[in-house]
Amino acid sequence: MTTTPVSPSLITTLPGLYYTDPEIFRQEQEHLFESMWFCAVRSADLATPGAFRTVQVGRENVLITRTRKGVLRAHLNICRHRGARLCTEESGEVRRNIQCPYHAWTYDLDGRLIAAPNLVKMPDVDRDAHGLHKVALREWLGYAWVCLADEPPSFEETVMGAAVERLGDPAAIEQYGTQDLALGKRITYDVKANWKLIVENFMECYHCATIHPELTEVLPEFADGYAAQYYVGHGAEFGEGVKGFTVDGSAGFAKLPRVTEDQDRRYYAITVKPTVFVNLVPDHVILHRMFPLAADRTVVECDWLYAPEVVESGADVSRSVELFHRVNAQDFEACERTQPAMASRAYRDGGVLVPNEHHIGMFHEWLLGKLRHTNDLGDDHAGPVH
Ligand code: FES
Ligand code: FE
């Protein structure tokens, strides 16, 4: 293979290995998904005490429950006795306590060991010390974010900070009141692609004119291929005749009560690294959570969130759902089309980023730093931020 010299307009991407290698994926599990805050579950999905959801976070399975007091708790889904997985279902409800199906050690919803066969004959056993392994949990935007690190990084800086960095104003995301919205629709996508291809695709709009006809009708500036959404504070403006963020530009719903005039008729996109995208439009919020399961497989749960009265009234949300569902399907198809090439000799040294995509180079720099890989991709790799 000959190496193509890179011109100043083009900077290199990561080599194909980064999208296929199980060892690099393991390092990402360790240094990203198990070390950073990971958006695990929508809080309202666990509505009643005893409701649980199990979520794969890196190499660990985490059990999230709502306690009798109504708070959410996260623990490793592993019995302290001999390690049986406690809950094998993805979601469900336990009656009062969590009982291991192997030898019946029993934990309350706060994770404390409360009963076990013959436990009374072992008075020296400290029930707190043999409770479930706790996992840090924070709630924001109506979602439970968990962190497996012994010393979690600052939630304010690493999670909430992404919205501030993108919108330029700490109050801006609050205007949407996302935590008070109701779920209008959830679609789960099983994408046969590396999670980074999905992030990179979300970060650029060079592809919008080619693959997103409906989106570029609603947001004409996206047709220019410029990732305008990555200018600090800028939201892409709806086209002139467009009435709402819907598949045909027809009217949506009343704008959310605290959305400001500046935010009206605009679309804002936020990437909360590593696995969350937040999309803000005047009358709803679309939130993507990625669950990277293998180097070449990522499950994406996408929630469409509306004012509670919209959902309660049974209003037809299908036109707004359809717009971003099509965008998702178009994007994920592109990612799946790209994934096989990552293992090809054609991509051994990676591909290239055009100026409209140079900010993706910053994502690559960030990733290499987290994995503690030295940057041998060349000094031209770090592109300017748009
Ligand atoms: Fe759970 Fe024995 S492994 S009670
Ligand atoms: Fe796209």
Just give the CATH number of 11-34+168-381.
3.90.380.10
Residue nearest to atom 2 of ligand 1 (CA): 103
Query: In angstroms, what is the span from residue 125 Cα to ligand 1's centroid?
Result: 15
Pairing between β-strand 51-57 and β-strand 297-306 as defined by DSSP bridges: unpaired
Tokens for 115, please give them: 């009963």
Query: In angstroms, what is the span from residue 332 Cα to ligand 2's centroid?
Result: 8
pLDDT classification of 384: cutoffs 50, 70, 90:
very low
> Ligand 1 pocket, 100 CB below 6 A?
yes
Judged by phi (left if over 0) then psi (alpha if -120 to 50, else beta), residue 66 lies in beta
Partnered with residue 352 across adjacent β-strands are 12
Just give the CATH number of 38-147.
2.102.10.10
> Any alpha helices (H) in the chain, and if so which ranges?
22-28, 155, 161-167, 195-203, 208-211, 213-218, 308-312, 318-338, 360-370
Query: In angstroms, what is the span from residue 82 Cα to ligand 1's centroid?
Result: 5
CB atoms within 10 A of CB 232: 12
Q: Are 181 and 308 in contact (CB under 8 A)?
A: yes
Q: State the closest ligand 1 atom to the C-alpha of 86, by its place in the atom list counted from 1.
A: 1
What is the Cα–Cα distance from 39 to 47, expressed in whole angstroms?
17
Query: Is it the case that residue 68 has pLDDT exceeding 90?
Result: yes
pLDDT classification of 374: cutoffs 50, 70, 90:
confident
Backbone φ, ψ for residue 293 (5° rounding): -105, -20
Query: Is it the case that residue 228 has pLDDT exceeding 80?
Result: no
> Ligand 1 pocket, 287 CB below 6 A?
no
Query: Is it the case that residue 74 has pLDDT exceeding 90?
Result: yes
* Angle in degrees, 0-180, between the axes of helices 360-370 and 195-203, rounded to the nearest 10: 150
> Ligand 1 pocket, 105 CB below 6 A?
yes
Mutation test residue for ligand 1: of 80, 97, 100, the one with most atoms within 8 Å of CB: 100
> Ligand 1 pocket, 84 CB below 6 A?
yes
Provide, rounded to the nearest whole percent, the portion of the chain with pLDDT above 70: 94
pLDDT tens digit sequence for 232-253: 788 999 999 999 999 999 999 9
- Return mean pLDDT, the chain: 93
Overall pTM > 0.85? yes
Mean pLDDT, range 29-35, rounded to an integer? 98
Q: Domain ranges for the chain, please list them.
A: 11-34+168-381, 38-147
- Of 2 and 320, the structure prediction assigns the larger pLDDT to 320
Query: In angstroms, what is the span from residue 151 Cα to ligand 2's centroid?
Result: 35
Q: State the closest ligand 1 atom to the C-alpha of 104, by its place in the atom list counted from 1.
A: 4
Q: State the closest ligand 1 atom to the C-alpha of 105, by its place in the atom list counted from 1.
A: 4
Backbone φ, ψ for residue 146 (5° rounding): -115, 155
pLDDT classification of 328: cutoffs 50, 70, 90:
very high
Residue nearest to atom 4 of ligand 1 (CA): 103
Q: State the closest ligand 1 atom to the C-alpha of 100, by its place in the atom list counted from 1.
A: 1
Residue nearest to atom 3 of ligand 1 (CA): 82
pLDDT tens digit sequence for 143-172: 999 999 999 999 999 999 999 999 999 899
pLDDT classification of 386: cutoffs 50, 70, 90:
very low
Ligand in closest contact with the CA of 100: 1
- C-alpha distances in Å from residue 227, one per residue of 84, 206, 238, 287, 330: 47, 7, 15, 19, 17
Mean pLDDT, range 60-85, rounded to an integer? 97
What is the Cα–Cα distance from 16 to 345, expressed in whole angstroms?
8
